[in-house]
Amino acid sequence: MTEKEKCAAGLLYDANYDKELINERIACKDLCLEYNQLKNSDLENRNALIKKIIGKTKENICIEPSFWCDYGYNIETGENFYANHNLTILDCAKVKFGDNVFIGPNCSFYTAGHPLDAKQRNEGLEYAHPITVGDNVWLGGNVVVLPGVSIGSNAVIGAGSVVTKDIPENSVAVGNPCKVIKNID
């Protein structure tokens, strides 16, 4: 089993020393750098390049620079996707966004995690678990979403939250760790 296959299966895999994964990350980050250096007025090239970086998109997508991801091919966005400045998606596993998702500035989505055992960490091992964000979700600025989390449709995540567990649909959740504080009727 290759390291990439181990990653896709949610197993511990070598992210730091595997040549295939290193080369894929370098190629993606080169595209991200190119995207981040385009003028905001160059909409045609911005749209074309972001659709080259991201694995699957619908038609209407806007990601303000700067944007960084690890591989790109593990990201899927729905229609009317908007992310403000400084979006980071560590997409070692799938990251799927529904339709009408709005993301505030300085938000991060981390599918990668590391073993508690120092020896395994020092060997470059990590794991990856997918993140899913439903339709009509709004995430305030400086939100961090951790590996394996699902955020239900129509949820609102308050600014500065660290989402460590699933958030149900039709709810407002805030804090570190992020907790539901009210339901949306």
Q: What pLDDT does 173 receive?
A: 98
**Total domains in the fold of the chain:** 1
Give residue 185's pLDDT.
Answer: 84
Residue 100's pLDDT is 98
| Most confident of the ranges 7-21, 110-124, 139-153 | 139-153
Buried b (16+ CB within 10 A) or exposed e, 64-92: bbebbbbbbebbbbbebbbbbebbbbbbb
Catalytic residues: 114
Express each pLDDT in 86-130 by its tens digit. 999 999 999 999 999 999 999 999 999 999 999 999 998 999 999
How much is the pTM? 0.96
Q: Which two tokens stand for residue 88?
A: 């980071």
CA–CA separation, 81 and 77 (whole Å):
6
- Please report, for the domain that includes residue 64, its CATH number: 2.160.10.10
DSSP string, 46-103: HHHHHHHHSSB--S-EEEPSPEEES-STTEE--SSEEE-SSEEEE-SS-EEE-SS-EE
Give the Å distances, CA to CA, from 26 to 84, 107, 174.
24, 22, 35
Instruction: Give the separation between CA 106 and CA 99, rounded to whole angstroms.
Output: 20
| Residue 48 lies in domain | 3-183
